[in-house]
């Protein structure tokens, strides 16, 4: 009986699922049409923010992609005015939340997942406005902004080093450890005190050791860090930049970060953020960026953007099973069942640029929605999954994306710009910092801004600074150097260097290792002392503009001039931090050392000094009283004494 | 010190010291030698213990399963090596890449100052291949190195196989906190030198190498593997590095701890430790083990690929597998597990290895003698020199006080200064000639004599050395005429103090070298006067000269290694040892050859000069 019922049930399920699939197919085709419309409006909200203002999205049916993708992108670019009109016509929401997950399968077989959450709020923290009603925007951050008159705040926590040679450029670069840079409003009078207070407050909010940021690791870069939002102030007196290369990022930093999201980790993409999987990875980086944005093209009213990003790279080899496939469940040990109800848009993008015919990997379930975007100077194609549409989740009511590799070749990439840094030499007296910057562009040179902030205990010999490319001296066109002051401020070196095409530029500077006071050593002095990453900021010629040969896909009339789209794009590259050993006393036996030193000084040195400086003579024994009196009498009488 | 402040007591003390000078010196010498021999006696030594907390208490599990696959890789490597006739660079790059490492190569070339007949090489060109296992979520600040030399012939294939097997296994683990660099170096030490210089971007020896493309931050520790058989009976750890530097004792402790845990026989100097310390044979075993260490350390040459790491403050050791005729054999899986365990513990390190000793001698793997225990042995020898100096000083100061003739005193001391300076300069010039001539005049020597370049260099060195014996006292007579009684005393005072400082500094850096030199040179320095019988003392002098010390050391070393040689072979060995010493200096920057040529030999010549003082 039970068996009979079971089979009956199974039949029912089968029939329903079959019809479900049929219906879903129908919906998909219709929806994709809808989506085309929505995609026209969507890009504007994304346009300046999502992919560094260099984005031209176009969503089409898959079968259109080969022929018309380029043209669509072109059309979009031709009508920037329409962007504004569409935007102003959208219903005015006071605040808005969007979430996105971008997955990029990497050549090495690893996988890169990048979460982006954006809260846009039409309000004004500036000019002393009292803001007290919060909806989506986290109150804790809002209060920080208004109390400390922050114009822009960028903070990132990173565990691991981004391997540019294997993974290409990240969507949002960040140095290992913690990085914080803040632009204050020009109404702030005592920037240093505000900065100090701000770092302590942030330290509490993010459960991080940001309170270790003080004047010895804070710099004011003159050119490398410009405001990213609307700003008329570029006086770098209001900028503070600090890194903590030693900061270790773990779940206690993730939890407060997740709490800033409107849905917390209850719904939407954030349910994937489980720490046991996020920290079982090759790279983990989480960041918060706050900046003022324009509300419309006239820019009459500002709105504030809070962008939370989390980047993680999963490693193929350490994942265990040896099978070359990735799924949401395997990556995050969760699947998706719904979008965040508060989100106006909730999407997953999979980078399928290198996989047009599915020869590298297979994507299950397949999606007809495609989107093109120019990311980091390269035109990429993405498969799109819209979580706000129920059809995305299919009949099982959950989405578990599966990427199955067919071939992997782990060859090294040649990113146009990458950099490395190391300490040369041996011994504990001196050393040399080498910074290598590679320009792999075959025919174009470009200039980069190099920012180096070196702690005071490495005393840079700035006269030994050399910049060489291709064996020749390369004179920087701009140098900003601020020497360090012992125990007060670090060295700051900023240079604008022109990198010749296809070359390595080497910047070397020698340093001397300082001997610290004994209380200044860290609890583990033999581990070494960290020097934060150098920052290389550059406008790199776009690869899209570079491939002049690849014209067959484009129309003849549009493909003559090579600079078709964005001719160059902004890249920031961080080098690895350095671990430098300083001369370290043996702390394990302070008692012995103190005893020995005291004994040597007291006994050895004292008496030796006595022996060397004094002359010794045999003293006459002290005469008795009677003899002395007798002598006085004899003296009075003029007779020689006894 | 109150003793010295009181003139009467000071005078009494000094008179006692001068009166009993010779017996006290004899006593000190005997005490020094006895102290040194006592170091190997087990109750006088300390048992080794793990000082580093990060490695001591933490538990690791060794799970390396793939010994058989590593052997297969080793055979594949051997086949490719044979096919290419050298290092199979392309194969190694491909294999390492397939194991998920970032692979880089470095090519280097070096022209030796003269052909190396032991290893039959003159112009060396090679390539190092290394793959970096990037630790997950680590910022490339720290690294560990595992290296295996690609040796000619059928040697070390298993080491490379194990290295690749471990690379494959390590790559799949999540727990690494430091990058691990797997390095296969060609031409053993020369390749290693090139790689280390490239990594640290220094050039101390004038080698040509291409810059490295990938790095892993500051290297914390390194192990070098040497395995030439599929199964082994025991593992040997080699610690002695360049210029007698030793790695932190914790590295040896770590090795011993894992040998115990996994159940592999472990040796140092190829000798097992014995439990019967109270028997004569047990004690002599310990003495021999310690003497081997002393001789190896004194030679100042790197005794394995690890030896070059030490200059860069990287703790390193070589682990070599020995396959003897014992019954119980260990397979490659077990060896792999041992290495895995060591790397996991090193991976746990927060700081560099610094807790334990850097200066030690090991009479067995479980016992060590720290610097505090062995330094008195040297101190007792060095104090002889100071006592003699005091004696001479008193003798020099006393006579003028007796004569009370100011003019005579000035007349006596002024030729003293010249008679000191002249031999000093001449003997140092001879030393400089000994340092420079062998390598720079080898071509001329080869033209005029029917010898090979290597022999030419060594024979030139010996010739200069011998010529030096004749030169100083003749020239001294030519330059400053008749020496006075006062003159040789001043010269000897200077020479004795010079020797004391020289040996003291040497012993601080390389105790073994300092002690061996002190053992032979101190008696000569203490008792030389122009008045002793010339022929007999000249013979004693030559026998105790640095060159003969080296000759005896060669024979003793062979004896200790249970490989006694005949006189003929010993002489050949002696010549090759000298050439190796010179090569070590030019290739790796070993300081023993310049130390002997520029300092010790001139100092010895000063005493030789005093012997023939007229």
pLDDT at B512: 94
Return the pLDDT at A323: 61
Nearest 5°: phi and psi at A378? -130, 140
Task: Say what the pLDDT of residue B531 is.
Answer: 82
Between B263 and A54, where is the model more confident?
B263
Nearest to B141 among A108, A427, A576 (CB): A576
Residue A562 confidence (pLDDT): 53
Task: Name the minimum distance, in Å, from the CA of B166 to any CA of chain A.
Answer: 14
Neighbours of A610 (CB within 10 A): 14
| Any A CB within 8 A of B205 CB | no
Task: Kindly report which listed range (A47-51, A206-210, A621-625, B590-594) carries the lowest average pLDDT score.
Answer: A47-51
**Residue A290 near residue A119, CB atoms below 8 Å:** no
Segment B255-263 mean pLDDT: 91
Instruction: Check residue B475 and give its pLDDT.
Output: 57
Cβ separation B313–A426 shorter than 8 A: yes
Instruction: Give the pLDDT score at A412.
Output: 64
Alpha carbons A265 and A336: distance in angstroms, whole number: 12
CB contact under 8 A, B201 and A432: yes
Q: Under DSSP, is residue B356 helix (H, G, I), strand (E, B) or coil?
A: coil
Each residue's pLDDT tens digit, A273-283? 988 888 888 99
Read off φ and ψ for residue A570, nearest 5 degrees.
-90, 135
Would you call A578 an interface residue with chain B, using a CB distance cutoff of 8 Å?
Answer: yes
Question: Is the per-residue pLDDT at B102 higher than 70?
Answer: yes
Which comes out higher in pLDDT, residue A95 or B557? B557
Q: Between the CA of residue B74 and those of A215, B80, B127, B155, B431, what are the distances in Å?
A: 56, 10, 19, 11, 49
| pLDDT on residue B602 | 92
Q: Is the Cβ pair B6, A616 closer than 8 Å? A: yes
Of A620 and B603, more confident: B603
* C-beta atoms of B173 and A318 within 8 A: yes
Residue A553, pLDDT score: 58
- pLDDT at A83 exceeding the cut of 70: no
Q: How far apart, in whole angstroms, are the C-alpha atoms of residue B594 and residue B581?
A: 10
pLDDT for B369-395, tens place per residue? 999 899 999 999 999 999 999 888 888
Q: How confident is the model at residue B340 (pLDDT cuts 50, 70, 90)?
A: very high
The single-letter DSSP state of residue A327 is E
Contacts of B171 in chain A (CB under 8 A): 317-318
How far A279 CA sits from the closest chain B CA (Å)?
8
Sign of CA dihedral B324, B265, B230, B95: negative
| Res B244 pLDDT > 60 | yes
CB-closest option in B137, B200, B218 to A528: B218
For residue A574, what is the nearest residue in chain B, using CA coordinates?
B139
Query: Cα separation of B149 and B35, whole Å?
Result: 40
Which of A118, A124, A121, A122 is closest to A97 using CA atoms?
A118
| Contact call for B136 and A410, based on CB within 8 A | no
- Cα dihedral value B185, B188, B190, B194, nearest 10: 20
- Among partner residues B138, B200, B217, which is closest to A425 by beta-carbon distance? B200
User: Which is more confidently placed, B410 or B439?
Assistant: B439
pLDDT digits (tens, 9 = 90+) for B520-574: 999 989 888 888 888 888 899 899 999 999 999 999 999 998 888 888 999 999 9
Q: Are A284 and B350 within 8 A, CB to CB?
A: no
CB contact under 8 A, A422 and B355: no
Mean pLDDT of the residues in chain A: 79
pLDDT at B90 over 90: yes
Look at residues A444, A161, A29, A461 and name the one whose alpha carbon lies nearest to residue B177. Answer: A161
- Does the structure's ipTM exceed the value 0.85? yes
Mind listing the pLDDT tens digit for each residue in B64-89? 998 899 999 999 999 999 998 889 99
CB–CB contact B8 A618 (8 Å):
yes
Whether A318 and B172 lie within 8 Å, measured CB to CB? yes
Average pLDDT in chain B: 88
Q: How far is A442 from chain B (nearest CA, A)?
A: 19
- Report the 3 state secondary structure along A357-405: CCCCEEEECCCCCEEEEEECCEEEEEEEEECCCHHHHCCCCCECCEEEE
CA angle A482, A486, A490 (to 5 degrees): 40
The encoded tokens of residue A618 equal 């045999």
- Rounded Cα gap, residues A429 and A580, in angstroms: 11
In the predicted model, is pLDDT for residue B91 greater than 80?
Answer: yes
**Lowest-confidence range among A288-297, A560-569, A582-591, B56-65?**
A560-569
Going by pLDDT thresholds of 50, 70 and 90, the confidence category of residue A556 is low
Cα–Cα distance for residue pair B78/B158, rounded to 1 Å: 9
The shortest C-alpha distance from B369 to chain A (Å) reads 19
Interface test with A, best of B136, B179, B316 (most A CBs within 10 A): B136
Q: What is the mean pLDDT of residues A279-292?
A: 92
Q: Does B218 touch chain A (CB under 8 A)?
A: yes
| pLDDT band of A50, cuts 50, 70, 90 | very low
Residue A8 has pLDDT above 80, yes or no: no
Tell me if chain A has a CB within 8 Å of the CB of B138: yes
Least confident of A404-413, A610-619, B237-246, B482-491: A404-413
CB contact under 8 A, A426 and B202: yes
Q: Which residue has the higher pLDDT, A84 or A115?
A: A115
Which helix or strand (DSSP H or E) is residue A277 part of? Answer: helix A275-278
Q: How confident is the model over B496-531, as pLDDT tens digits? A: 999 999 999 999 999 999 999 999 999 989 888 888
What is the pLDDT, as a whole number, of residue B385?
A: 93
Per-residue pLDDT for B92 more than 90?
A: yes
Of A552 and B340, more confident: B340
From A348's Cα to the closest Cα of chain B, the distance in A is: 25
What is the structure's pLDDT at A73?
Answer: 39
- Stretch B402-419: mean pLDDT: 51
Q: What is the pLDDT of residue A47?
A: 37
For A483-501, the pLDDT digits (tens) are: 999 999 999 999 999 999 9
User: Does the pLDDT at position A62 exceed 80?
Assistant: no
Q: Which pLDDT score is estimated for B403?
A: 43
% of chain A beyond a pLDDT of 90: 37
Confidence grade of residue B359 (pLDDT, cut at 50, 70, 90): very high
What's the pLDDT band for A65 if we cut at 50, 70, 90? very low
Write down the pLDDT at residue A595: 81
CA distance A438 to A469: 10
Q: Hey, is the C-beta of B391 within 8 angstroms of any chain A C-beta?
A: no
Res A544: pLDDT:
59
Q: What is the pLDDT of residue A174?
A: 93
Quick one: pLDDT band at residue A29, thresholds 50, 70, 90? very low
Q: Spell out which residues of chain A touch residue B136, defining contact as CB-CB under 8 Å.
A: 160, 281-283, 315, 318
Instruction: Report the interhelical angle of B511-527 vs B546-560 (nearest 10°).
Output: 130
In this prediction, residues A468-477 reach a mean pLDDT of 91
Query: What does the pLDDT read at residue A84?
Result: 39
pLDDT above 50 (res A20): no
Q: What is the pLDDT of residue B591?
A: 93
Counting residues of chain B whose pLDDT is more than 90, the rounded percentage is 54
* Residue B410, pLDDT score: 45
Residues of B in contact with A608 (CB under 8 A): 1
Which residues in chain B touch residue A310, judged by CB atoms under 8 angstroms apart?
Answer: none
Q: Does A581 touch chain B (CB under 8 A)?
A: yes
Select the residue from A161, A428, A575 to test the B interface by mutation, using most B Cβ atoms within 10 A: A161
């Amino acid at each position: 009986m039970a068996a009979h019922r079971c089979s009956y049930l199974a039949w029912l399920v089968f029939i329903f699922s079959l019809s479900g699939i049929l219906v879903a197919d129908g919906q998909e085709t219709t929806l994709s049409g809808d989506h085309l419309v929505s995609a026209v409006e969507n890009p504007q909200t994304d346009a300046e923010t999502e992919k560094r203002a260099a984005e031209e999205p176009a969503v089409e049916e898959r079968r259109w992609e080969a022929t018309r993708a380029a043209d669509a992108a072109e059309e979009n670019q031709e009508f920037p005015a329409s962007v504004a009109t569409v935007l102003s016509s959208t219903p005015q929401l006071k605040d808005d939340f969007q979430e996105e997950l971008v997955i990029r399968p990497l050549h090495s077989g690893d996988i890169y997942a990048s979460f982006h959450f954006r809260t846009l709020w039409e309000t004004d923290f500036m000019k002393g406005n009292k803001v007290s009603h919060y909806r989506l925007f986290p109150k804790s951050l809002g209060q920080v902004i208004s109390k400390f008159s922050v114009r822009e705040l960028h903070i990132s926590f990173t565990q691991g080093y981004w391997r540019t040679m294997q993974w290409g450029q990240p969507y949002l670069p960040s140095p290992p450890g913690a990085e914080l840079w803040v632009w204050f409003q020009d109404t702030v009078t005592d920037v240093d005190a505000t900065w100090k207070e701000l770092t302590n407050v942030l330290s509490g909010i993010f459960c991080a050791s940001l309170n270790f940021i003080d004047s010895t690791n804070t710099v004011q870069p003159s050119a490398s860090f410009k405001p990213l939002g609307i700003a008329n102030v570029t006086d770098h007196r209001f900028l503070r930049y600090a890194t903590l290369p030693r900061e270790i990022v773990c779940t206690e930093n993730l939890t407060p970060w997740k709490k800033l999201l409107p849905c917390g980790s209850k719904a939407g993409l954030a349910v994937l953020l489980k720490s046991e999987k996020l920290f079982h990875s090759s790279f983990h980086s989480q960041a918060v960026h706050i900046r003022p944005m324009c509300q419309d093209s006239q820019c009459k009213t500002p709105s504030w953007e809070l962008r939370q990003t989390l980047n993680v790279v999963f490693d193929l080899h350490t994942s265990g099973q040896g099978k070359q496939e990735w799924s949401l469940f395997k990556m995050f040990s969760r699947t998706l069942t719904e979008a965040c109800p508060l989100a106006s848009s909730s999407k997953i993008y999979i980078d399928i640029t290198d996989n047009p015919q599915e020869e590298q990997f297979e994507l299950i379930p397949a999606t007809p929605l495609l989107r093109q975007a120019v990311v980091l100077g390269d035109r990429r194609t993405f498969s799109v999954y819209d979580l706000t549409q129920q059809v995305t989740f299919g009949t099982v009511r959950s989405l578990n994306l599966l990427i199955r590799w067919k071939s992997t070749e782990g060859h090294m990439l040649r990113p146009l710009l990458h950099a490395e840094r190391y300490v040369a030499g041996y011994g504990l007296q001196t050393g040399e910092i080498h910074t290598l910057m590679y320009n792999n562009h075959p025919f174009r040179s470009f200039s980069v801004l190099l920012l180096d902030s070196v702690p005071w205990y490495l005393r840079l010999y700035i006269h030994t600074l050399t910049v060489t490319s291709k064996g020749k001296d390369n004179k920087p066109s701009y140098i900003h150097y601020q020497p360090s002051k012992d125990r007060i401020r670090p060295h700051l070196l900023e240079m604008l260097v022109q990198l010749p095409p296809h070359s390595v530029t080497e910047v070397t500077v020698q340093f001397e290792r300082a001997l610290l006071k004994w209380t200044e050593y860290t609890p583990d002095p033999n581990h070494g002392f960290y020097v934060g990453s150098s920052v290389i900021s550059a406008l790199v010629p776009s690869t899209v503009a570079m491939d002049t040969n690849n014209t067959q896909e484009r129309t003849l009339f549009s493909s003559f001039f090579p600079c078709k789209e964005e001719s160059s794009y902004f890249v920031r590259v961080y080098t690895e931090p350095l671990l430098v050993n300083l001369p370290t006393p043996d702390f394990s036996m302070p008692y012995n050392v103190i005893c020995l030193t005291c004994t040597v000084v007291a006994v050895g040195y004292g008496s030796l000094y006595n022996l060397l400086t004094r002359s010794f003579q045999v003293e006459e024994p002290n005469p008795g009283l009677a003899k002395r009196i007798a002598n006085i009498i004899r003296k009075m009488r003029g007779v020689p004494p006894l | 010190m109150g003793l010295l402040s009181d003139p009467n007591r000071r005078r009494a003390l000094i008179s006692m010291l001068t009166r009993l000078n010779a017996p006290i010196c004899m006593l000190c010498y005997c005490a020094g030698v006895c102290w040194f021999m006592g170091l190997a006696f087990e109750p006088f030594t300390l048992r080794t213990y793990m000082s580093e907390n990060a490695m001591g208490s933490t538990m690791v599990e060794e799970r390396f399963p793939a010994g058989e696959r590593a052997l297969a890789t080793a055979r594949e490597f051997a086949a490719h090596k044979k096919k290419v006739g050298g290092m199979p660079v392309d194969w190694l790059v491909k294999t390492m890449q397939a194991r998920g490492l970032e692979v880089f190569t470095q090519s280097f070339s070096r022209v030796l100052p003269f052909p190396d007949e032991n290893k039959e090489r003159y112009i060396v060109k090679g390539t190092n291949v290394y793959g970096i296992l990037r630790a997950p979520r680590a910022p490339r600040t720290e690294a560990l190195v595992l290296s295996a030399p690609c040796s000619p012939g059928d040697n070390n294939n298993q080491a490379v196989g194990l290295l690749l097997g471990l690379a494959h296994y390590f790559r799949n683990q999540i727990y690494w906190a430091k990058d691990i660099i797997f390095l296969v170096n060609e031409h053993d030490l020369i390749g290693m030198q090139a790689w280390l210089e490239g990594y640290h971007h220094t050039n101390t020896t004038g080698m040509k190498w291409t810059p490295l493309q990938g790095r892993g931050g500051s290297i914390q520790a390194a192990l070098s593997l040497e395995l030439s058989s599929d199964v082994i009976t025991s593992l040997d750890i080699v610690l002695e590095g360049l210029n007698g530097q030793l790695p932190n004792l914790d590295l040896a402790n770590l090795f011993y701890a894992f040998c115990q845990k996994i159940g592999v026989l472990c040796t140092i100097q190829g000798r097992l430790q014995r439990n019967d310390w109270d028997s004569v044979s047990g004690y002599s075993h310990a003495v021999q083990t310690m003497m081997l260490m002393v001789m190896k350390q004194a030679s100042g040459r790197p005794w394995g690929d690890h030896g070059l790491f030490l200059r860069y403050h990287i703790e390193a050791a070589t682990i070599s597998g020995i396959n003897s005729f014992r019954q119980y054999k260990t397979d490659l899986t077990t060896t792999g597990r041992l290495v895995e365990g060591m790397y996991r513990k090193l991976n746990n390190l927060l700081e560099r290895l610094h807790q334990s000793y850097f200066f030690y001698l090991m009479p067995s793997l479980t016992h060590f003698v720290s610097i505090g225990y062995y330094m008195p042995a040297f101190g007792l020898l060095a104090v002889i020199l100071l006592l003699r100096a005091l004696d001479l000083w008193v003798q020099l100061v006393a006579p003028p006080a007796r004569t009370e003739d100011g003019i005579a005193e000035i007349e006596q001391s002024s030729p003293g200064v010249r008679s000191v300076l002249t031999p000093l300069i001449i003997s140092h010039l001879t030393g400089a000639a000994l340092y420079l001539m062998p390598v720079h005049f080898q071509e001329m020597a080869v033209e005029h004599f029917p010898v090979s370049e290597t022999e030419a260099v060594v024979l030139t060195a010996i010739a200069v050395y011998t010529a030096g014996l004749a030169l100083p006292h003749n020239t001294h007579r030519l330059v400053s005429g008749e020496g006075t009684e006062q003159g040789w005393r001043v010269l000897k005072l200077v020479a004795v103090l010079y020797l004391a400082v020289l040996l003291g500094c040497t012993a601080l850096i390389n105790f073994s070298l300092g002690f061996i030199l002190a053992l032979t040179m101190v008696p000569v320095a203490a008792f030389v006067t122009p008045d002793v019988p010339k022929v007999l003392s000249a013979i004693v002098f030559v026998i105790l000269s640095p060159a003969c010390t080296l000759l005896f050391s060669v024979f003793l070393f062979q004896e200790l290694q249970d490989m006694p040689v005949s006189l003929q072979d010993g002489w050949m060995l002696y010549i090759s040892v000298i050439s190796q010493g010179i090569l070590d200096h030019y290739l790796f920057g070993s300081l023993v050859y310049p130390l002997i040529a520029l300092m010790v030999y001139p100092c010895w010549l000063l005493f030789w000069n005093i012997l023939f003082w007229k």
